[in-house]
Amino acid sequence: MGPIGVPGIILLVILALLLFGPNKLPELGRAVGRTFREFKDGAREIIEDEPSSKKNEAPQPQPAVVQVKAEDKRLPE
């Protein structure tokens, strides 16, 4: 489970109970869950938006290339 471990999680739960009280913990958990869900949805929209925006764009016109022949160039004499 990483560097925290089970005793660390138990300590964090006890600390949260002491700081916020048993009545506020469910509300706090819902707020944290909503925040993570909104962040994930926003990140997904940004990731999905990039390729689709390039597909929907009209192709940019290419600049015209003009070829000039050597005899067309007239230098002042």
pLDDT of residue 25: 85
CA distance 43 to 62: 34
pLDDT of residue 8: 92
pLDDT of residue 50: 66
40 within 8 A of 32, measured Cβ to Cβ: no
pLDDT of residue 38: 95
Which tokens sit at 43?
């990140």
Which tokens sit at 15?
């600390």
pLDDT of residue 28: 86
CA dihedral 10, 18, 35, 5 (to 10 degrees): -10
Per-residue pLDDT for the chain (77 aa), expressed as one digit of tens each? Answer: 568 899 998 999 899 889 988 888 889 889 999 999 999 999 998 888 766 555 556 666 776 666 666 665 565 55
